[in-house]
Homo-oligomer: A and B are copies of this chain.
């Protein structure tokens, strides 16, 4: 054992210890900081729907204890000797990824999230494939500089936290498909991801249409910046809007009719899935060959793009609409129950700074 290993940092977190266990306080050690590490005092952590999938072990692959959380904001407390871009006191964020090989094709393309050796922020392991990673429902985290982002100082750390997942997930396809002032885009679903898609798309100058199963979301959609609203179950409305959109960002994770969405696309338009429906999408061959759409998906974004998104949000003063709660086992459970029912506008954010006092 090398002497350096003695310099681990005691940390606290809320963890689950089995797939039917409640959250409990978990005392553990963050790794000894390396020369390229940044130690971050966590202030806030967003609750992403995927946290809930992990905690309930819906993907049947968890190891315990499990500390969720990948929408992390906080303040730099310590930096390693080779860290170049961060200083103590900086406002920073950490998203879904904390390490990758940085050598493979996706890494070279600045899409680190697609590295075959990707180390997710929690429920994963470090590059050694052994040491478990623990997420942001915690008071501290130690992360390699490359995977830390600067949060612009004009953005509040609480409402900025979900930018690290919900924000970049919608920003990435908007940028990838060159959305700008001449674009007509559709955002399907008005939850955590969808409301960010509307804000970001509108800030890029696009004409945004929200497509939802529920008429009740119309007013909110318009307030967030949408110019139009379609009730997906209303065939007449959908028909009127046929062939009108350049890009659709589909944030819905429940099974739904994708062909009806493709009908809304212009010739050679783009449909991009960012939700994760449990059943395969059914896509008709005829629309595929006659409209030549691009059907694709997108998964968060690379580090360069995530920083670009945060800078864009800083410039346009964009954050998430959140409900901030004090983190306790009980409040987390209540937030999970409400998130499952889509009863949140639009993201719960846990106050971690005061969580373990």
Q: A273 contacts the other chain (Cβ, under 8 Å)?
A: yes
The stretch among A27-35, A284-292, A331-339, A349-357 that forms the contact with chain B is A284-292
Judging by beta carbons under 8 Å apart, are B285 and A273 in contact? yes
Q: How large is the interface on A (under 10, 10 to 19, 20 to 34, 35 or more residues)?
A: 20 to 34
Q: A224 CB to closest chain B CB, in angstroms?
A: 24
- Whether A273 contacts B299 by the Cβ 8 Å rule is no
Contact of A298 among B273, B281, B287, B289 (CB under 8 A): B289
- Is the pair B297, A296 in contact by a Cβ cutoff of 8 Å? no
Q: Is A178 among interface residues, defined by CB-CB distance under 8 A?
A: no
CB interface residues, A 268-304, toward B, < 8 Å? 273-278, 280-299
- Tell me how far the C-beta of A280 lies from the nearest C-beta in chain B, rounded to whole angstroms: 4
Question: Are A288's CB and B296's CB within 8 A?
Answer: yes
User: Contact between B267 and A288 (Cβ–Cβ < 8 Å)?
Assistant: no
Chain B residues with Cβ under 8 A from A292's Cβ?
Answer: 111, 114, 296-299
Partner of A289, one of B285, B290, B294, B299: B299
**Is A8 part of the binding interface, using a Cβ–Cβ cutoff of 8 Å?**
no
Contacts A292-B296, A292-B297, A298-B292 known; A282 to B282 CB distance under 8 Å? yes
Contact A283 B299, beta carbon cutoff 8 Å: no
A295 touches which of B267, B276, B277, B294 (Cβ 8 Å): B294
Per-position contact with B for A167-198: 1 when CB-CB < 8 Å, else 0?
00000000000000000000000000000000
Measured in the bound complex, the distance between the Cα atoms of B289 and A281 in whole Å is 12
Is B297's CB under 8 angstroms from A267's CB? no
Q: Who on chain B is nearest to A172 by CB?
A: B292
Minimum CB distance partner of A278 in chain B: B285
Looking at A281, A289, A291, which has the most chain B CB atoms within 10 Å of its CB? A289
Interface residue? A106 (CB, 8 A): yes
- Contact of A299 with B294 at beta-carbon distance under 8 Å, contacts A280-B282, A281-B283 already known: no
A295→B262 CA distance, assembly (Å)? 12
Q: How far is the CB of A142 from chain B (nearest CB, A)?
A: 27
- With A259-B280, A273-B288, A283-B280 already in contact, the answer to whether A267 and B114 are too (CB < 8 A) is yes
Shortest Cβ distance from residue A274 to the other chain B in the assembled complex, whole angstroms: 7
Interchain CB contact under 8 A, A296 and B293: yes
Answer whether residue A215 sits at the interface, using C-beta atoms and an 8 A cutoff: no
- What distance in Å separates the Cβ of A90 from its nearest Cβ neighbour in chain B? 31
Residue pair B290, A299 in contact (C-beta under 8 Å):
yes
A105 at the interface (CB under 8 A from B): yes
19 contacts between A and B (CB under 8 A): A111-B292, A114-B267, A114-B291, A259-B280, A274-B289, A276-B289, A277-B285, A285-B297, A288-B295, A289-B297, A289-B298, A289-B299, A290-B297, A291-B297, A292-B296, A292-B297, A292-B298, A295-B295, A295-B296
Closest 6 CB pairs of A and B: A288-B297, A289-B297, A280-B282, A295-B295, A289-B299, A280-B284
Q: A273-B289, A281-B288 are in contact. List 10 more A-B contacts (CB 8 A).
A: A105-B266, A111-B267, A275-B285, A276-B285, A280-B283, A283-B283, A289-B297, A290-B299, A292-B296, A292-B297
